[in-house]
């Protein structure tokens, strides 16, 4: 199993530079795996649980402690990509910044 760390992993959003620490994974049993802390379900507890699974799905951990998320709030079939800002989010009041129209568009933003 690979470590899911992209070779090109920096991008800019909302006047900030971000670095992807690693992409999150989906494991059958995260408790029985050394990478279990990087499972999407294990990450959900760090975000507003009312939005997770319904509106925001974390897909990568950023160096700043923020998360890269698929944002389903505008479309259930075609999510945007956003940065979830942990420092400025409150309980039931998430702060996120639009990044790209699609995950494919996000990948095009990565720079060396």
Strands (DSSP E) along 1-112, which ranges? 10-13, 16-23, 56-62, 67-71, 80-84, 96-100
Place of tokens 């942990």: 86
pTM over 0.75: yes
Mean pLDDT, consecutive 10-residue stretches, the chain (112 aa), reads: 66 91 69 57 55 72 89 92 88 86 90 56
């Amino acid at each position: 199993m690979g470590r899911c760390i992209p070779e090109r992993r920096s991008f800019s959003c909302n006047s900030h530079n971000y670095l992807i620490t690693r992409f999150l994974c989906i494991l059958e049993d995260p408790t029985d795996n050394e990478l279990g802390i990087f499972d999407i379900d294990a990450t959900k507890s760090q975000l507003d649980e009312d939005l997770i699974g319904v509106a925001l799905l974390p897909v990568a951990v950023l160096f700043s402690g923020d998360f890269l998320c698929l944002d389903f709030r505008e479309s259930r079939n075609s999510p945007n990509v956003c940065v979830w800002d942990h420092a400025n989010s409150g309980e039931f009041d998430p702060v996120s910044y639009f990044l790209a129209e699609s995950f494919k568009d996000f990948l095009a933003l990565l720079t060396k």
